[in-house]
């Protein structure tokens, strides 16, 4: 029945003279999202974006389109040649479907795109509603205040269109309209969610993962690849930089206080991430830190971590509870992979009593015992890079 999708966007609509840039990017991103299903005609028309469905299942296509950042809703619709009687017949088709699915009340909303048409929008609604009631009789009631379903009828310059449901999207801004960021991606719950949230604001994402193979297994790295693969569904092809920091953590363990292991390791990770980010022309780092969640994420710990880099660090989860983070992880499909029981480099070398209120001057004093630059360069020289697609 449905032959077209209406793609609704949010913030893009207030972008002024630059609006067309965001719209063009959104059209491109929708086409890319749909490539695994087939080649679709995605286009702009009269300030809207449409996807022609042809013979494809509208539910399958709409489910993919709604995942594209920048889209707030997707409406399956029936589009036909410009004819008012045809518009009423299409409205009846949609209403019959709603009655079959159990709807008890409805109302009609109309939009008159052709200002030369004899009826106003309100007059259209009254006329079409009267026609529908005469056809369905008492099988469904009319409720103009709180209807279970709305039948939206549009009489536009070149066509007519009817739709009812709006499938919610994730909103945000089109991917690729706000620069590039390097995300520190672990195998946990938080960092994939943080990556997704920053990508939702239009930033292209690359990922860097730190491991201590052979102390951590190949399975732990495969877990991270799986998370990157899930993220690539939303973020497009994702470049994953894999860094072995075993020698760094050994050096810290032999030369520094045990309780400082986590903070100093974290500072090394941030420095390496910044170096790789700069080489990849990234504008910021992204972490999954949430204030107070673990010992290294106290305000003092975050201060020490920040002091190791000059690049902006985005922490989209900083004020979120774990339950809120888990809810998003489940929604985007990373949760089940994140909770698989594989160790990461932080848990393998975690001290029994990590310092919770580190002082920067003491941490920097401890780092003087290490050949920081050489340890960093050795790790960078042995980075493995992999491009991951969904």
* Domain locations along the chain: 4-168, 180-388
Taking each helix axis as running N to C, give the angle between helix 299-306 and helix 261-279, from 0 to 180 degrees, rounded to the nearest 10.
40
Place of tokens 């848990």: 347
354 has a pLDDT exceeding 90:
no
pLDDT at 335 (0 to 100): 97
Decide: residue 382, CB within 10 A, 0-12 exposed, 13-18 middle, 19+ buried: exposed
Placement of tokens 């007059």 in the chain: 123
pLDDT at 32: 93
Q: Is 184 annotated as a binding residue?
A: yes
Give yes or no for a contact between 87 and 160, defined as CB atoms under 8 angstroms apart.
yes
Point out which residues pair with 180 in neighbouring strands. 204
pLDDT at residue 348, rounded to an integer: 59
Residue of 163, 140, 365 whose CA lies nearest to 260: 365
Each residue's pLDDT tens digit, 239-256: 999 999 999 999 999 999
119 is in an annotated binding site: no
pLDDT greater than 90 at residue 360: yes
Q: Which of 366, 347, 184, 350 minimizes the C-alpha distance to 269?
A: 184
User: Is the model's pLDDT at 336 over the cut of 80?
Assistant: yes
Mean pLDDT score of the chain: 94
On whether 70 is known to bind a ligand per the annotation, the reply is no
CATH fold for domain 4-168: VC0802-like (3.30.2130)
Task: Give tens-digit pLDDT for 271-326.
Answer: 999 999 999 999 999 999 999 888 889 999 999 999 999 999 999 999 999 999 99
Which phi and psi (to 5°) does residue 101 adopt? Answer: -90, 0
The CATH class that applies to domain 180-388 reads alpha beta
Q: Is 266 annotated as a binding residue?
A: yes
Q: Are 285 and 386 in contact (CB under 8 A)?
A: no
CA triple 136-137-140, angle to 5 deg: 70
Average pLDDT estimate for 356-366: 95
Query: What would the pLDDT profile of 91-123 be if each residue is shown by its tens digit?
Result: 999 999 999 999 999 999 999 999 999 999 999
User: 99 to each of 57, 62, 150, 255, 311, how far by Cα in Å?
Assistant: 21, 22, 12, 73, 57
Contact 10, 166 (CB under 8 A): no
In sequence order, the β-bridge partners of residue 76 are 5
For residue 210, say whether it is annotated as part of any ligand binding site: yes
185 is in an annotated binding site: yes
Token pair 């292991």: residue: 261
Two tokens, residue 24: 């063009």
pLDDT of residue 17: 82
pLDDT, tens only, 135-171: 999 999 999 999 999 999 999 999 999 999 999 999 9
Confidence band for 345, pLDDT divided at 50, 70 and 90 = low
**349 assigned binding-site residue:** no
Query: Mean pLDDT, to the nearest integer, of 70-88?
Result: 97
């Amino acid at each position: 029945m449905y032959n077209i999708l209406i793609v609704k966007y949010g913030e893009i609509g207030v972008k002024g003279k630059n609006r067309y840039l965001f719209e063009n990017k959104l059209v491109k991103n929708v086409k890319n999202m749909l490539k695994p299903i087939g080649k679709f005609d995605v286009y702009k028309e009269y300030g809207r974006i449409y996807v022609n469905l042809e013979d494809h299942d509208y539910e399958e296509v709409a489910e993919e389109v709604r995942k594209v950042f920048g889209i707030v809703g997707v409406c399956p619709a029936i589009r036909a040649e410009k004819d008012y009687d045809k518009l009423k017949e299409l409205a009846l088709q949609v209403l019959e479907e709603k009655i079959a699915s159990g709807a008890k009340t409805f109302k009609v909303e109309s939009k008159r795109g052709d200002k030369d048409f004899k009826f106003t929008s309100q007059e259209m609604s009254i006329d079409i509603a009267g026609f529908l009631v005469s056809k369905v009789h008492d099988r469904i009631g009319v409720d103009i205040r709180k209807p279970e379903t709305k039948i939206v009828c549009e009489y536009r310059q070149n066509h007519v269109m009817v739709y009812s449901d709006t499938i919610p999207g994730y909103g945000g801004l089109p991917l690729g309209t706000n620069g590039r960021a390097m995300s520190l991606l672990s195998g946990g719950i938080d960092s994939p969610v943080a990556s997704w949230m920053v990508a939702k604001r239009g930033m292209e994402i690359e990922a860097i993962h730190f491991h201590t193979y052979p102390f951590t297994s190949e399975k732990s790295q495969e877990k991270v690849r799986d998370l990157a693969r899930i993220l690539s569904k939303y973020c497009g092809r994702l470049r994953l930089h894999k860094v072995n920091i075993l020698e760094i953590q050994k050096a810290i363990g032999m030369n520094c206080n045990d309780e400082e292991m986590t903070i100093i390791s974290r500072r090394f990770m941030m420095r390496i991430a910044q170096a790789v980010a700069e080489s990849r022309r990234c504008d910021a780092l992204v972490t999954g830190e949430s204030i107070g969640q673990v010992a290294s994420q106290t305000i003092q710990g975050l201060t020490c971590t920040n002091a190791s880099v000059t690049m902006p660090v985005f922490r989209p989860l900083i004020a979120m509870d774990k339950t809120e983070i888990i809810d998003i992880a489940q929604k985007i499909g990373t949760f089940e992979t994140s909770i698989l029981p594989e160790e990461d480099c932080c848990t393998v070398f975690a001290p029994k009593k990590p310092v919770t209120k580190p002082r920067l001057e003491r941490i920097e004093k401890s780092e003087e015992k290490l050949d920081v630059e050489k340890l960093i360069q050795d790790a960078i020289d042995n980075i493995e890079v992999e491009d991951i697609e969904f």
